[in-house]
């Protein structure tokens, strides 16, 4: 009798609590979802399969990042100081296109930036290690993926050597991207005096349920004077040494000048959010500008932004184009606005090309991309497939004077779910170097010739199914 009564009580509790929990989740979805597609997807999922949908929402949909927003507000005084410094290094020219990017970044475009284009892993890592070896005051490091392989251990060796010289070394890594990184790797760094943190560990156990919001940035800053950012994580794979992928084609950027201070601000905000430690006064904020340097601006973006900064970065760049839009990206799962911008650019006569890898590292995004190809090709957009290996660069070139390089892919995850960083460069000589680089890439690629209906049955089905979950890819 007692057992029976207990079962009845449990049934009643669940009968009340489950609808209540579903209702609260739906309310949060309606209040906080960033896109209509995502809203509809979550509401239908919660109503159709609540037992499975509720824990999925806690992990992939629900986020509690108000603390990040609060810490960003703390840095407003530093933002104003940096803004004044950047304005003191006036750009060579003022363009109407500047305004939108400046609003997104909350920072002005500054001149005097020395920019070095780094192609692929060996050149990139050699340049990073050389700068770390020259560090005198501090090194700030942030990566989505660090591996305990030859590249990752060599990286650690350079950081440890810097710490032994008395250099302050700080490292942030993403808990999801570095899931397989052994504790011994971190312990070795900590024992040498490197301050290493996993934000998920620092912010407490609830942050473990926020794995859908990843810090995808790849940043190295040395003494506040030199910095690196781009598409290369720290592992052998990114040197083309993983036989599963072979040649790994990626692009990184070395910065010197005012843009370094702007990138450093993003690092400070991430560190502050994770630790409550403000680094502003400890760092150098006025790097020497190069009199022959380029006009540039660092634009961070993430899920706490009031605006959809990542999507608007690409939308503005594409919309401003009058002659050319060349994009290199590993994933092509765009939202409706980006699709429209690409199609309109092609319809107004621009040379619009999207360069993608022939191979894949993630099945879902690779399949979903095929569902968009026919739509954009009908408007005149060219889809090119890179053949020699896996293409992982994140680059956009428009006309002859604008380049975007950073960590953001052309998908909803980068636009709205990940913390990303992009550099906006307004400079014809630098754009010419990027053009030459991309021409080489296109020479190693072939245009897509087949429509989706001409693809194998499994691909046709997979493409259409995965497109349904595009808002979370």
Q: Supply the DSSP symbol for 235.
A: S
Last residue of a domain, one of 234, 263, 294: 294
Query: What is the distance between the alpha carbons of residues 115 and 267, in angstroms, rounded to a whole number?
Result: 19
Last residue of a domain, one of 14, 33, 61: 61
Closest CA to 260 of 218, 223, 226, 294: 226
Q: Alpha helix (H) ranges present in 147-279?
A: 150-164, 183-191, 199-202, 258-275
Last residue of a domain, one of 35, 61, 87: 61
Instruction: Clarify whether 218 is annotated catalytic.
Output: yes
Which pLDDT value is given to residue 23? Answer: 73
Spot the catalytic one: 71, 158, 218, 254: 218
Same domain? 73 vs 26: no
Summarize pLDDT for 78-129 with one digit per residue, the tens.
Answer: 788 888 888 889 999 888 889 999 999 989 999 999 999 999 999 999 999 9
Spot the catalytic one: 120, 174, 223, 401: 223
pTM for this structure?
Answer: 0.87
Residue 300 lies in a domain: no
* Pick from 74-83, 233-242, 274-283: least confident: 74-83
Same domain? 15 vs 106: no
| Residue 73, H or E segment | helix 66-74
Instruction: Clarify whether 62 is annotated catalytic.
Output: no
Q: How many domains are contained in the chain? A: 3
Spot the catalytic one: 120, 270, 394, 441: 394
Q: Which domain holds residue 267?
A: 66-294
Same domain? 379 vs 358: yes
Residue 132 lies in a domain: yes
Query: What is the distance between the alpha carbons of residues 436 and 75, in angstroms, rounded to a whole number?
Result: 39
Q: Supply the DSSP symbol for 164.
A: H
CA distances from 173 to 9, 220, 233, 274, 313 (A): 46, 12, 11, 11, 25
Same domain? 257 vs 285: yes
Closest CA to 153 of 122, 123, 184: 184
Instruction: Clarify whether 270 is annotated catalytic.
Output: no
Instruction: Clarify whether 362 is annotated catalytic.
Output: no
Instruction: Clarify whether 134 is annotated catalytic.
Output: no
Instruction: Determine how β-strand 382-386 pairs with β-strand 445-447.
Output: antiparallel
Instruction: Clarify whether 158 is annotated catalytic.
Output: no
Closest CA to 414 of 120, 144, 65, 142: 144
Spot the catalytic one: 62, 71, 216, 343: 216
Spot the catalytic one: 148, 157, 305, 399: 399
Summarize pLDDT for 300-348 with one digit per residue, the tens.
Answer: 998 888 888 999 999 999 999 999 999 999 999 998 999 999 999 999 9
Q: Do residues 182 and 174 make contact, with C-beta atoms less than 8 angstroms apart? A: no
């Amino acid at each position: 009798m007692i057992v029976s009564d207990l079962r009845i009580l449990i049934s009643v509790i669940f009968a009340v609590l489950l609808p209540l929990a579903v209702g609260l989740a739906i309310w949060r979805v309606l209040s906080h979802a960033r896109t209509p597609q995502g809203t509809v997807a979550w509401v239908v999922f919660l109503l159709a399969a609540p037992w499975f949908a509720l824990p999925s929402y806690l992990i992939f949909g629900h986020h509690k990042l108000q603390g990040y927003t609060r810490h960003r507000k703390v840095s407003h005084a530093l933002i104003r100081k940096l803004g004044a410094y950047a304005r003191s290094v006036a750009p060579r020219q003022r363009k109407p296109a500047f305004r939108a990017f400046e609003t997104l970044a909350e920072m002005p475009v500054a001149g005097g930036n020395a920019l070095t284009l780094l192609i692929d892993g060996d050149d990139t890592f050699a340049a990073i290690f050389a700068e770390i070896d020259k560090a005198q005051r501090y090194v700030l490091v942030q990566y989505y993926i660090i591996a305990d392989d030859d590249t990752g251990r060599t990286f650690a060796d350079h950081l440890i050597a810097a710490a032994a010289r008395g250099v302050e070394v700080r490292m942030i890594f993403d808990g999801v991207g570095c899931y397989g990184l052994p504790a011994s790797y971190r312990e070795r760094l900590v024992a040498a005096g490197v301050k290493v943190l996993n934000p998920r560990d620092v912010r407490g156990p609830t942050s473990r349920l926020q794995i859908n919001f990843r810090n995808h940035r790849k940043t190295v800053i040395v003494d506040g004077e030199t910095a690196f950012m781009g598409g290369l994580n720290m592992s052998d794979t990114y040197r083309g040494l993983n036989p599963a992928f072979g040649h790994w084609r990626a692009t990184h950027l070395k910065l010197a000048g005012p843009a370094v201070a702007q990138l450093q601000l993003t690092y400070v905000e991430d560190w502050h959010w994770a630790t409550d430690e403000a680094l502003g006064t400890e760092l150098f904020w006025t790097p020497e500008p190069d009199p022959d340097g380029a006009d540039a601006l660092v634009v961070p973006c993430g899920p706490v932004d009031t605006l959809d900064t990542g999507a608007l970065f690409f939308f503005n760049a594409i919309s401003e184009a009058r002659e050319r839009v060349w994009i290199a990206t590993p994933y092509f799962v765009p939202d409706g606005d980006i699709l429209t911008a690409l199609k309109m650019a092609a319809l107004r006569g621009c040379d619009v090309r999207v360069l993608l890898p022939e191979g894949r590292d993630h099945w879902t995004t690779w399949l979903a991309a095929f569902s968009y190809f026919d739509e954009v090709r009908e408007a005149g957009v060219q889809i090119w497939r890179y053949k020699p290996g896996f293409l992982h660069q994140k680059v956009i070139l428009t006309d002859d004077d604008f380049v975007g390089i950073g960590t953001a892919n052309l998908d909803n995850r980068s636009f709205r779910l990940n913390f990303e960083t992009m550099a906006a460069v307004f400079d014809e000589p630098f754009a010419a170097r990027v053009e030459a680089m991309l021409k080489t890439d296109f020479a190693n690629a072939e245009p897509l010739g087949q429509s989706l209906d001409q693809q194998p049955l499994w691909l046709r089905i997979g493409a259409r199914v995965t497109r349904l979950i595009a808002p979370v890819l």
